Copies of this chain bind each other. A is one copy, B any other.
């Protein structure tokens, strides 16, 4: 379970919380332009845009949880169990395994607009990366400064939705969240007016009462609403440090605290890491559950003309 957001504050930022009951061996990974991206059904990209993001430790393919390319196009995969429906590969059209889609799109496309040209023909297959790594049920958020999409491979096929919120969490499918947001339109960051009755002397006894009704639990529906409320009311100086700090404050507000979310298996979901990328500069900021200090990895401090994955 995860929360992904974008944030425009002079520069355009993209990032997410990754919420799981265990680490997946993630490392900040840079894919330079000449690392050969070999796809199962979709051929090979020998030369492509460089990208940076968090990926599973693996030398042969960058298994990104989320990444941003050098053109400022960003994409993240988020858990979508029970709703994601992948197809068998049949060797026709543009078939991408679920673990390939981020690398394929970010390798090839400089913008959401460019990516959209491929979505019509794209099919997500259930091909496993390996025997020990069955395909994870995911949906994706794809964004650049101009546009944000949600991409969902469901029973009926691949669907792409324009995402005016710049927020994605998990189930239910995006259309539910889009509708659900309307339920909260009356909430305000402002000090509330008495709208119940002008014949009653009601008044706020505390700050923040205009947003009473905002959900505070860790379910995906509630995290979506809370993240959207915080993001769209967010105010920060338009400079890098303040923007990144603000971004993490929003993510902190929808993070999972150990013990507060017990899975059916009795394990604890926590926010294993949170990240924020400046999509213009390619600096990847992140912190982990046990270390709140923000670290930064600048993609451009690496030789982007290289041909091997770089772990940081």
Within 8 A of B (CB), among A204-257: 204-222, 225-226, 228-230, 232-236, 241-242, 245-246, 248-250, 252-253, 255-257
Q: Are B207 and A269 in contact (CB under 8 A)?
A: yes
Does A132 have its Cβ within 8 Å of any Cβ on chain B?
Answer: no
B165 touches A182 (CB 8 A): no
A164–B262 alpha-carbon span in the complex (Å): 24
Known pairs A208-B269, A217-B214, A259-B235; A195 contacts B203 (CB<8 A): no
Asked whether A188 lies within 8 Å of B181 as measured between CB atoms, the reply is: no
Partner of A249, one of B187, B220, B289: B289
Band of interface residues on A: 35 or more
The residues in A between 256 and 275 inclusive whose CB is less than 8 angstroms from any CB of B are 256-264, 268-269
CA of A59 to CA of B251, assembled, Å: 38
A205 CA to B234 CA, complexed, in Å: 26
A212 in contact with B188 given A164-B200, A257-B250 (CB within 8 Å): no
Closest residue of chain B to A20, judged by CB? B207
Q: Within the assembled complex, what's the spacing in Å between the Cα atoms of A252 and B245?
A: 13
The answer to whether A181 and B200 touch across the interface, beta carbons within 8 angstroms, is yes
The distance from the CB of A216 to the nearest CB of chain B, in whole angstroms, is 3
Query: Is A130 interfacial (CB 8 A cutoff)?
Result: no
The DSSP consensus for interface residues of chain A is loop
State whether the Cβ of A294 lies closer than 8 Å to any Cβ in chain B. Answer: yes
Q: Bound state CA distance, A179 and B203, in angstroms?
A: 9
Q: Determine whether the beta carbon of A207 is less than 8 Å from that of B263.
A: yes
Once the chains are docked, how many angstroms separate the CA of A258 from the CA of B215? 18
For residue A213, which residue of chain B has the nearest CB? Answer: B213
- Contact bitstring A108-121, B, C-beta under 8 A = 1, else 0: 00000000000000
Cα of A85 to Cα of B211 in the assembled complex, Å: 28
A1 to B208, CA, bound (A): 10
**A186 proximal to B (CB < 8 A):** yes
CB distance from A290 to the nearest CB of B (A): 5
- For residue A10, CB closer than 8 A to chain B, the reply is no
- Residues in B whose Cβ lies below 8 Å from that of A211: 216-219, 260
User: Is A296 on the interface with B (CB-CB < 8 A)?
Assistant: no
A184 proximal to B (CB < 8 A): yes
Q: Mark the stretch among A24-32, A45-53, A95-103, A169-177 that contacts chain B.
A: A169-177
Say whether A245 contacts B212, CB under 8 Å: no
Given A221-B183, A255-B253, does the pair A207, B1 have CB atoms closer than 8 Å?
Answer: yes
- A190 in contact (CB, < 8 A): yes
Q: Is residue A60 within 8 Å, beta carbon to beta carbon, of the partner chain?
A: no
> Is A287 an interface position by the 8 A CB rule?
yes
Q: A176-B179, A186-B188, A213-B213 are in contact. List 11 more A-B contacts (CB 8 A).
A: A172-B179, A185-B204, A187-B196, A189-B260, A190-B195, A191-B263, A195-B210, A211-B219, A230-B259, A234-B258, A242-B290
